């Protein structure tokens, strides 16, 4: 038993090193308090899909669709063969209203405490594309459900935690971040998003998860001091 745990530990260290080498969205930390940060994200290009189901079903569906695109189900703009796009982290999932707006980008209004991250049946799943790509040079998806979208500079509040993402934990962390944001006087512009940085075989203590909410540009001079 101890040997199995030790081997699992070593395997996770190897995969963690590989995952940590993946590109992540570029951002600047403007404020931090324990496990919560206010971030300024640089403009980015994402690949996104809208899928139905509960949180786990939607995550799996969305991941498969976008993974298929980045692993070659695309039309390169520079060569005749499909092009493989480097994997990035995190994989992000966000609940959607029943009617999906057709314009983009769209700021989605926050839901009530009862309309929560884990009970939705309609979701947006997205990957951030490597920074060398633009809409002009990135391979085009062959699957019409995969959409490419440019996002402008944005501000987010993020809460980081480890472990498995049970429905109860995700809901608890979402409420925690929402309460903290309101206490700090931040203007929330979106529903909560769940961002996962690790492959599914990662041991719980090594997992990096985040709850993120888009906010209006914060006035840092009015922030309360970290306790």
For 45-109, give the DSSP string. EEEEEEEESSHHHHHHHHHHHHHHHHTT-EE-SSSSS--PPPPBS-EEEEE--SSPPSSSS-PPP
Question: Which residues, given as ranges, of the chain have pLDDT below 50?
Answer: 1-20, 98-115
Q: Is the dihedral of CA 47, 56, 103, 215 positive or negative?
A: negative
Q: What is the pLDDT of residue 227?
A: 53
CA–CA dist 155, 220 (Å, integer): 12
Q: What is the pLDDT of residue 118?
A: 65
CATH for 2-222? 3.20.80.10
Q: Are 209 and 200 in contact (CB under 8 A)?
A: no
Instruction: Tell me the three state secondary structure of residue 4.
Output: helix
Rounded-to-10 torsion of CA 133, 135, 141, 146? 100
Q: What is the pLDDT of residue 56?
A: 84
pTM of the model: 0.81
* 60 torsion bin: left (phi>0), alpha (psi -120 to 50), beta (else): alpha
Helix, strand and coil percent figures for the chain, each rounded to 5: 25, 30, 45
Give the pLDDT confidence of 60-72 residue by residue, as tens digits: 898 899 999 999 9
Residue 172 CA, distance from chain mean position: 18
Give the pLDDT confidence of 163-202 residue by residue, as tens digits: 998 888 988 999 999 999 999 999 999 889 999 988 888 8
* Through-space distance between the first and last CA atoms of the chain, rounded to whole angstroms: 41
Domain boundaries along the sequence of the chain: 2-222
Q: Are 66 and 135 in contact (CB under 8 A)?
A: no
Q: What is the pLDDT of residue 97?
A: 53
């Amino acid at each position: 038993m101890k040997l199995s745990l030790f081997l699992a530990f070593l395997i996770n260290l190897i995969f963690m090193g590989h995952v940590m080498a993946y590109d992540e969205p570029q951002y600047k930390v403007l404020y931090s308090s324990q496990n919560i940060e206010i971030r300024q994200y640089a403009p980015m290009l994402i690949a996104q899909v809208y899928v139905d189901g509960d949180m786990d079903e939607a995550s799996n569906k969305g991941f498969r669709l976008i993974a298929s695109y980045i692993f070659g189900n695309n039309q390169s703009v520079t060569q005749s063969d499909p092009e493989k796009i480097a994997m990035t982290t995190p994989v992000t999932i966000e609940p959607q209203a029943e009617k999906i707006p057709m314009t983009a980008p769209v700021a989605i209004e926050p839901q009530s405490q009862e309309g929560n991250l884990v009970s939705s049946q309609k979701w947006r799943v997205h990957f951030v594309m490597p920074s060398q790509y633009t809409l002009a040079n990135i391979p085009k998806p062959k699957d019409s459900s995969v959409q490419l979208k440019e996002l402008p500079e944005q501000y987010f509040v993020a809460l980081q935690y480890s472990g498995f993402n049970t429905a109860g934990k995700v809901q608890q962390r979402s409420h925690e971040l929402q309460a903290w944001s309101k206490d700090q006087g931040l203007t929330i512009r979106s529903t909560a998003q769940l961002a996962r940085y690790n492959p599914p075989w990662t041991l719980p203590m090594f997992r990096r998860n985040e709850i993120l909410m888009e906010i209006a540009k914060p006035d840092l001079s009015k922030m309360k001091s970290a306790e």
